Amino acid sequence: MLRAFLLLPLLGALLVAVFPSRRPEIIRRAALAVSAASLLFALTLVFLFDPALAGQQFFETRPWNPRVGSSFSLGVDGISLPMVVLAALLCFVAMLVSTTISSSAKFYFSLLLVLETAMFGVFMARDWSLFYVFWELTLIPLFFLIDRMGGANRHRAALNFVLYTLGGSVFMLVALLLLYDAAPGHSFAMADMAQGGRGLPPATQLLIFAGLFIGFGVKMPVFPLHGWLPLAHVEAPSPISILLSGVLLKMGSYGLIRASETLPGAMLAVQDWLAALALVSLVYGSVLAWRQTDLKRMVAYSSVAHMGVVLLGIATLNVTGLGGAVFQMTAHGLAAALLFLLVGALYQRTHTRELGEIGGLIGRAPRLTFLLSLALLSAAGLPGGAGFIAELHVLVGGFDRWGGWVAVLSLGVVISAAYALRVTGRLCLGGTPHADPLPDLNRAEYAAASALALGIVVVGVYPAPLLALSAASVREIARLFGG
Amino acid sequence: MNELRCIAEALAATSSLVWLVPLLPLLAALSISVRLGFAVSGDAAEPATAGLARGAALAVLLLLATIVLGSFAVEAPRVVERGDWMDVPGVNVPISFVLDRLSLSVACVVAFIGWATLHFAVAYLHREPGFHRFFLALCLLLGGMLLLVLAGNAVVSFVGWELCGISSWMLIGYADERPTATGNALFGFITNRIGDAGFLLGIGLSFWWLGSVEWSAVASGAIPETVKARLLVLGFVTAALAKSAQLPFTPWIARALEGPTPSSAVYYGAVMVHAGVYLLLRCEPLLLQVPDMMAALAVAGAATAIYAWLCGRVQTDVKTALLYATVSHVGLMVLACGLGWFALAQGYLLLHALWRGYQFLMAPSYLLLAPSQPAPLPRWLATNTFLYTAALQRFWIDRVAHGLLTRPTLSLGRDVREFDDRVLDRLIGAPREQALGAGSPVQGNGVAGRTLLRISDLLQQFETRLVLEGEGGAMARALQRVGAALKAIEALLEQPRYLMLMVMATFVVII
């Protein structure tokens, strides 16, 4: 079942590839239909999923390369399922708002569908070699999408992005091989490797963990490894920014959770350092986001800060904090996607992303204004938005572990409120109005944006179902650390 | 006989539905406000709004009548509790209602006047632009009044009390395009807030000293220390005097006439004014403990009665004259309370409210109904220039209050504002007017803002130099240096002699 789900977008990509390239609208419709089908499939999975069970569900495996012990195994649990749904939703949204692509639609939509398959693969793989393959597979479509369709500095951004990620994943590969070598089973299956990894001496675990952390830390990104992010986010076309920040970043934190499952000894040893790194990322990202006048760049840096919250939640290693981290992954996925969508729409209309050059939106584009304010405020952790629930969980979990140190998180929240309110104030309420006519969001954009906004509010006001979805799996992980 | 008994018990059982009584008008108000949210207007929308309000009032009236009948037949439970509103350790506020002669009789009168007035207003306000808003305020006032009267404890009463305050503010400021109307609405509201402060003081002290806010506990609360009892009574008495427009709070009610119609005047002229007296009646046993406060009450009531009578004599319009007559009668009720004649005050209250309601509704037609000119002023008042002027000027209370209270408060406010502007805002960096809109989007105000700006500048430099700059950045330069070194080694290795050397070295290692 998961196999069909995984291959659906790939088949869609093949289908799109054979369409005549003169008819971009048909290609777009076809791609949209495929991603809508994937989204429905993902929602069906949610209905069939039993949140009471901690283990993998819909698990299927078949040998892939028996000589080295790799297998093609797929499965979802309470941590990966929200990510799968998020990926499906954001892919659909990204295709829905890609209305201006016409010249190279075939190229664009087929790559987007390949990317969707790769993202599903990362979240559903139950074998580290398969995970690695899909991890690398995301790079190829993204490189071409940024390099061909991006902004002025697109070549540099694409190269930078791929080099950073490849550099990180080399470390990850080495670490995985080390683990494969050190663990007794000689199998790449996640369950086997986890069993082997838990038995390793702490020093070996630490070494392996360091490699994995560099790989995942680049993707997340964590403070000194985030150099690719502002460039790539700013230069990528806005549907790609939606996916980059909404889903691709979560791959890093998702991998980190899987790594902590595999190497609990190392995780316990570096717990405090991870928290320190998380707090630095948080404040660093918030301050830089506050500093930017380019809206897209601001959202990009705010992603660094929000992923800092995720890292802090993971580092707590207790049920509350981990639950908050998993929740924040969804919450930030929705909020960042909404922000990039709206900023992209704004850029399309005004051809500028400079905060100083746009203003007075409220009378001219009320839908855009309302949704933008909502997205900014919920990203800043306003109660009623999804981010608040996540931050609260992480705060409570972190307080159990480190006491007053988590006040730094509040500092980050205060700074994020400062830039959120500044943007709301200048862009929506005051400021110098942009000279050109400014049409409001069109129907496709409005539908996509309000779906995301609705998601943020619903999850924020009634978080219980989403928390319950991942509760069992989170408890299972926390049990490893006695939390 | 047995059947009668059954009917009586069924009637008595309705007393557990007493929570519906204040709720129905409030629900009507809510649905009217929802309708307002959908921007209803025009003739076609009027019957629905009026129907909602009148239906709620009629239902309340019938329900109250049933409860009263039931309480005649069977000894009904005096207190009905409907769960807890707040239950924090130390603070327990149940949603309770008290059903005794006092509350039921006043509630019936209030509901009846409310129902009659709503009927009256349907025709009177036809095609007014604020038709729906007006009915919303009337329903709110009716609900608030009923809640205030029926509530079993001071906190729930206070909710009703505040609803009355806010809805009378809405009614006085009905013509919101006229500055006098909104100004007077604000004046009335603020004067009432002084009374609210007294009420809150009373609530807080009863929590503190009595551990409960149930009227039964508050009223009979035996506090041995006279000072404490006096303070507690002072709170409730201040509230009562402000709401009932007794001296020195009288001026607000004259200004409240800015409301559009007799219907609104009925509400605060004939209904809400009595809320203060009701509060005094509720606190009867408590008042009896503090004779000096009773004396003060008597003095205030008597002074108000004389003052309002004098002012009323010189008025030339019906509504104001009626209003001063009301105030002077309410003053007499307060005097009665002060003298300890509570039963008299209660009867007086009920009859006066009904009679005054009738008069206020008739007020627009008085010029037609009156057979002749009104009686001239008595000689002693007409010839006494000072008294006449004083009465005409309403004894300058407004102006004295302005000089003694408003002006000092305003100048104090100015000073504080100045301090805020010059010191606090600069320190904290509250955004100024010019911060939104003009200048660079990134700017820091105050100490915190400037620190943030400085730190962010540093971090941005770091980010740009080390991370972002592909060419010429520190990271790229280091990489290039390493690359150059590697290239040099490779170039060396490519030369045959070094290659041979390598091969030989390998052989040496192997051997």
Q: What is the pLDDT of residues A15-48, one digit of tens each?
A: 888 888 788 888 888 999 999 999 999 999 999 9
Beta strands in B202-289, from DSSP E residues, in sequence order = none
Q: For residues A220 and A197, what is the distance between their CA atoms, to the nearest angstrom?
A: 23
Res. B499: pLDDT tops 80:
no
Q: Are A327 and A250 a contacting pair, CB within 8 Å?
A: no
Closest by CA to A77, choosing from A54, A61, A43, is A54
Give chain B's mean pLDDT: 82
pLDDT in the model for residue A307: 92
Structure tokens at A83: 């990510």
Mean pLDDT of B416-431: 78
Find chain A residues with C-beta within 8 A of B463's C-beta.
288
Token look-up 């790989």 returns A215
Contacts of A227 in chain B (CB under 8 A): 467-468, 475
Q: Do B452 and A415 touch (CB under 8 A)?
A: yes
**pLDDT above 90: percentage of residues in chain B:** 17
The alpha-carbon gap from A360 to the nearest alpha carbon of chain B, in Å, equals 9
Evaluate if residue A253 carries a pLDDT over 90. Answer: yes
Q: What is the pLDDT of residue B509?
A: 78
Retrieve residue A433's tokens: 């109005």
Where is B6: in which H helix or E strand?
A: helix B2-13
pLDDT of residue B259: 66
- Chain segment B132-164, per-residue pLDDT in tens: 888 888 899 999 999 999 998 888 999 999 988
Nearest to A430 by CA among A355, A371, A374, A338: A355
Nearest to B262 by CA among B124, B166, B129, B425: B124
Residue with tokens 């000096």: B292
Q: How confident is the model at residue A91 (pLDDT cuts 50, 70, 90)?
A: very high
**Residue from the list B441, B452, B457 with its beta carbon closest to the beta carbon of A356:** B441
Contacts of B457 in chain A (CB under 8 A): 291
Do A356 and B459 count as a contact with CB atoms less than 8 A apart?
Answer: no
Measured CA to CA, the distance from residue B385 to residue B230 in angstroms comes to 41
Torsion, CA B348, CA B351, CA B355, CA B358, rounded to 10: 140
CB contact under 8 A, A422 and B455: no
pLDDT at B433 over 60: no
Q: Could you give the CA distance from residue A388 to residue A334 in angstroms, rounded to a whole number?
A: 13
**Predicted local distance difference test score (pLDDT) of residue A306:** 92
Task: Answer whether A54's CB lies under 8 Å from A450's CB.
Answer: no
pLDDT digits (tens, 9 = 90+) for A183-199: 777 788 888 888 888 88
Interval A443-470 mean pLDDT? 88
* Structure-block tokens of residue A461: 């006001």
Residue B265, pLDDT score: 66
pLDDT at site B421: 81
Residues from chain B that touch A425, judged by Cβ atoms under 8 A, are 431, 436
DSSP of B341-369: -HHHHHHHHHHHHHHHHHHHHHGGGHHHH
Give the best-scoring range by mean pLDDT among A52-66, B244-258, B373-387, B394-408: A52-66
The pLDDT tens digits of the residues spanning B300-355 come to 999 999 988 888 888 877 778 888 888 999 999 999 999 989 999 999 999 999 88
The answer to whether A189 touches A127, Cβ cutoff 8 Å, is yes
Q: How confident is the model at residue B485 (pLDDT cuts 50, 70, 90)?
A: confident
Nearest to B302 by CA among B262, B333, B345, B273: B333
Chain B residues within 8 A of A156 when measuring between CB atoms: 470
Torsion angle of C-alpha atoms B208, B212, B218, B222, degrees rounded to 10: -70
* pLDDT bracket for residue B260 (50, 70, 90): low
- Give the nearest partner residue to A291 out of B438, B442, B467, using CB atoms: B442
| Secondary structure (H, E, C), B86-134 | EEECCEEEEEEEECCHHHHHHHHHHHHHHHHHHHHHHHHCCCCCCHHHH
pLDDT of residue B339: 92
Backbone angles phi, psi at A60, to 5 degrees: -145, 140
Q: What is the pLDDT of residue B77?
A: 64
Q: Which of A160, A287, A425 has its CB closest to that of B456? A: A287
Which segments of B274-323 are extended strands (E)? none
Mean pLDDT of A309-316: 93
Any idea which of A28-37, B8-17, B33-42, B427-436 has the lowest mean pLDDT? Answer: B427-436
Average pLDDT over residues B240-264: 78
A415 touches B at CB < 8 Å: yes
pLDDT band at A312 (very low <50, low <70, confident <90, very high): very high
Most confident residue range from A118-127, B280-289, B478-487: A118-127
A153 touches chain B (CB under 8 A): no
Greater pLDDT, A39 or A367: A39
Report the candidate in B214, A297, B13 with the shortest Cα–Cα distance to residue B5: B13
Half-sphere exposure of B115 (CA within 13 A, CB side): 18
pLDDT bucket at A311, cuts 50 / 70 / 90 = very high
- Which positions ≥6 away from A56 have C-beta within 8 Å? A75, A76, A77, A126
| A309, A328 contact by CB (below 8 A) | yes
Is B86 within 8 Å of B93 (Cβ atoms)? yes
When comparing pLDDT for B349 and B493, which is higher?
B349
Average pLDDT over residues A270-292: 91
User: Considering chain A, what is the average pLDDT of its residues?
Assistant: 88
Cβ burial of B188 (10 Å; 0-12, 13-18, 19+) is buried
Chain A residues within an 8 Å CB radius of B437: 359, 426, 430-432
Res B175 pLDDT > 90: no
Inter-chain CB proximity B459 and A284 less than 8 Å: yes
**B27-55, pLDDT tens digit by residue?**
999 888 888 777 677 777 888 888 889 99
Question: Quick one: tokens of B260?
Answer: 């559009």
Q: How far is A245 from chain B (nearest CA, A)?
A: 18
B449 CA: distance to closest CA in chain A (Å): 10
What is the C-alpha separation between A30 and A110, in angstroms, rounded?
A: 10
Provide, as residue numbers in chain A, all residues whose Cβ is less than 8 Å from the Cβ of B479: none
**Whether B96 contacts B233, CB under 8 Å:** no
**Residue B151, beta-bridge partner list:** B97
In this predicted structure, what is the pLDDT of residue A308?
92
Backbone angles phi, psi at A56, to 5 degrees: -75, 140
| Distance to chain A for B470, nearest Cα, Å | 8
**Is the CA virtual torsion B434, B436, B438, B439 positive or negative?**
positive
Q: For A426, which of B436, B459, B463 is closest by C-beta distance?
A: B436
Write the DSSP assignment of B433-497 as a string of letters.
GGGTTSS-S----HHHHHHHHHHHHHHHHHIIIIII-TTTSHHHHHHHHHHHHHHHHHHHHHSHH
Nearest residue in A to B442, CA atom: A291
Give the pLDDT confidence score for residue A303 in this predicted structure: 92
Distance of residue B485 Cα from the nearest chain A Cα, in angstroms: 20
Q: Do B452 and A430 touch (CB under 8 A)?
A: no
| Pairing verdict, β A57-65 and B91-98 | unpaired
E strands, B172-311, in order: none
- Model confidence at B436: pLDDT above 70: no
pLDDT for res B428: 72
Contacts of B511 (CB under 8 A, 6+ apart): none
The residue type at B442: V
Cα–Cα distance measured from residue A282 to residue A287, given in angstroms and rounded to the nearest whole number? 9
Which whole number is the average pLDDT over B399-418? 83
Average pLDDT of span B74-99: 77
A430 CB neighbours in chain B (<8 A) are: 436-437
What does the pLDDT read at residue B262? 60
More confident residue, B177 or A252: A252
pLDDT more than 90, % of chain A:
36
Distances (CA, A) of A158 to A143, A144, A163, A169, A230: 5, 8, 8, 16, 12
CA gap B361, B358 in Å, rounded: 5
Note the Cα B125 to chain centre separation in Å: 25
- pLDDT value, residue A432: 66
Residues of B whose CB is below 8 A from A226:
467
Q: Which residues of B touch A (CB under 8 A)?
A: 431, 436-438, 440-442, 452, 455-457, 459-460, 463, 467-468, 470, 475
A439 against A267, higher pLDDT: A267
Confidence at residue A186, expressed as pLDDT on a 0 to 100 scale:
78
For residue B268, what are the CA distances in angstroms to A153, B125, B142, B328, B342? 71, 18, 11, 15, 22
Indicate the burial class of B96 (C-beta count within 10 angstroms; 0-12, 13-18, 19 or more).
Answer: buried
Whether the CB-CB separation of A188 and A68 falls below 8 Å is answered with yes
Nearest CA-CA distance, residue B459 and chain A, Å = 7
Residues in chain B: 511
Residue B16 pLDDT: 81
CB-based contact (8 Å) between A226 and chain B? yes
Q: Do A288 and B440 touch (CB under 8 A)?
A: no
* pLDDT for residue B430: 67
From residue B153, alpha-carbon distances to A62, A139, B194 in Å are: 72, 68, 21
Structure tokens at A19: 């369409």
For an interface test with B, which of A154, A290, A421 has the most B Cβ atoms less than 10 Å from its Cβ? A290
Q: Which of B428, B433, B440, B442 to mutate to test the interface with A (most CBs of A within 10 A)?
A: B442
| Percent of chain B scoring above 70 in pLDDT | 90
In this predicted structure, the answer to whether residue B438 has a pLDDT above a threshold of 90 is no
Give the model confidence (pLDDT) of A96-129 as tens digits.
888 877 778 888 899 999 999 999 999 999 999 9
Q: Give residues with Cβ within 8 angstroms of B465, minimum separation 6.
A: B473, B474
Other Cβ atoms less than 10 A from the Cβ of B222: the count is 9
Rounded mean pLDDT, A411-431: 82
- Among A160, A291, A431, beta carbon nearest to B437: A431
Question: Which pairs from A32-35 meet CB under 8 Å and 24+ separation?
Answer: A32/A92, A32/A95, A32/A96, A34/A8, A34/A9, A34/A113, A35/A9, A35/A88, A35/A91, A35/A92, A35/A95, A35/A113, A35/A116
Which distant-in-sequence residues (6+ apart) come within 8 Å of B156 by Cβ? Answer: B85, B93, B95, B96, B97, B147
CA distance B432 to chain A (A): 12
